């Protein structure tokens, strides 16, 4: 059982940047180790950092079987974020390590950014901005507003549902693909449930919101992207591995896709190789460094939940004001 003298380690960089979250955690535990250098850990350095920790708070760090085996004192792992693809969940269960996880907390932030990216690429705002920076006062080739367009959502979970609610403001047809979604529920929320091929064929803009697992790895490869409506837009705020980046680049260079926006990459954060430079330099590709769910509000909420669930519950520390 954890207590106020238990060893706690926080590798999450966003958590470590927050003075308020650190203060709240320090008010509960006496021995907290923070990632003050904001280091991106590899497996070896992560094991060294966590060493004797009984509870850890992580973001994007890969928690593999090797890492778990190297931490014999670990009792609780709290996730600062919603994606679990970097954590060996089954092995955590096997080792009886408690997982603190709160899906849906950042759904509003991610959905808002998804909507902004869809509009940004449909209006050609980003490629025109790049030309303006290069002293070229370019004319619009094909700028589209949302009215009358079909917007597809792949993955109708917390984020997909929130995005659909935002899209209702516009005169758009919203369609969704999700093998776990019932047609009745979708229709009750003003969304038409379609097959995977249909959402590829009919969407003027397609927004991805699925977890990364064996079923979704390279879900959008060359074959699937080529089935997309010519001149359509692809937005990915799920996980980088969902889209095959070589196929995406080819579709942008050929003009099959008019634009794409992504907040995620297959390999993060080491996006420095030649291929990524080619993709990043494509004038019709807009990208951000995995910040969709990172706002002041979500950081605070994620941090508080990382502390509360399950640390505070297990430690019976509600008397400290949580």
Q: Which residues are catalytic?
A: 239, 268, 290
Asked whether the beta carbons of 228 and 203 are under 8 A apart, the reply is yes
The residue behind tokens 């917390």 is: 158
Q: Which of 34, 237, 141 is nearest to 24 (CA)?
A: 34
Q: Which of 108, 113, 101, 194 is nearest to 159 (CA)?
A: 108
Helix/strand/coil percent split, the chain, to 5? 40, 15, 45
The answer, yes or no, to whether the previous bond of 310 is cis (omega within 30 of 0) is yes
Asked whether the beta carbons of 76 and 54 are under 8 A apart, the reply is yes
- Other CB atoms closer than 10 Å to residue 213's CB: what's the count? 13
Q: How far apart are CA 100 and CA 112, in angstroms?
A: 25
Indicate the helix (H) or strand (E) that contains 208: strand 205-208
Positive/negative CA dihedral, 196, 200, 201, 204: positive
Task: Render 23-75 in DSSP notation, one character per residue.
Answer: HHHHTT-SEEEE-TT-----HHHHHHHHTT-SEEEESS--B-HHHHHT-TT--
Cα dist. 290→11, 45, 237 in Å? 17, 22, 8
The residue behind tokens 């890492």 is: 67
Rounded to the nearest 5°, which phi and psi values hold at 279? -65, -45
Asked whether the beta carbons of 156 and 176 are under 8 A apart, the reply is yes
């Amino acid at each position: 059982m954890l207590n106020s003298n238990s060893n706690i380690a926080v590798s999450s960089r966003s958590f470590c940047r927050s003075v308020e979250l650190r203060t709240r955690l320090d008010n509960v535990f006496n021995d907290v180790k923070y990632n003050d250098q904001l280091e991106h850990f590899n497996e070896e350095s992560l094991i060294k950092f966590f060493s004797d920790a009984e509870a850890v708070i992580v973001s994007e760090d890969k928690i593999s079987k090797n890492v778990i085996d190297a931490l014999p004192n670990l009792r609780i792992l709290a996730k600062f974020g919603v994606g679990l693809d970097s954590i060996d969940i089954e092995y955590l269960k096997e080792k009886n390590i408690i997982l603190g996880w709160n899906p849906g907390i950042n759904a509003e932030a991610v959905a808002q950014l998804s909507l902004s990216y869809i509009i940004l690429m449909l209006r050609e705002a980003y490629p025109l901005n790049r030309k303006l920076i290069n002293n070229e006062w370019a004319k619009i080739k094909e700028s589209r507003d949302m009215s009358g367009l079909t917007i597809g959502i792949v993955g109708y979970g917390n984020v997909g549902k929130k995005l659909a609610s935002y899209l209702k403001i516009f005169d758009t047809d919203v369609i969704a693909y999700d093998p776990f979604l019932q047609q009745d529920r979708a229709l009750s929320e003003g969304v038409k449930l379609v097959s995977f091929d249909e959402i590829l064929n009919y969407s003027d803009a397609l927004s991805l919101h699925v977890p990364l697992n064996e079923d979704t790895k390279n879900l959008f490869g060359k074959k699937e992207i080529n089935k997309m409506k010519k001149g359509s837009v692809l937005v990915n705020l799920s996980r980088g591995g969902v889209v095959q980046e070589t196929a995406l680049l080819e579709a942008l260079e050929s003009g099959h896709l008019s634009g794409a926006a992504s907040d995620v990459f297959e390999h993060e954060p080491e996006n420095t190789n030649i291929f990524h430079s080619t993709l990043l330099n494509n004038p019709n590709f807009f990208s951000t460094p995995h910040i969709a769910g990172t706002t002041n509000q979500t950081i605070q909420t994620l941090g508080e939940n990382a502390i509360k669930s399950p640390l505070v519950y297990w430690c019976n520390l509600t008397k400290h004001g949580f």
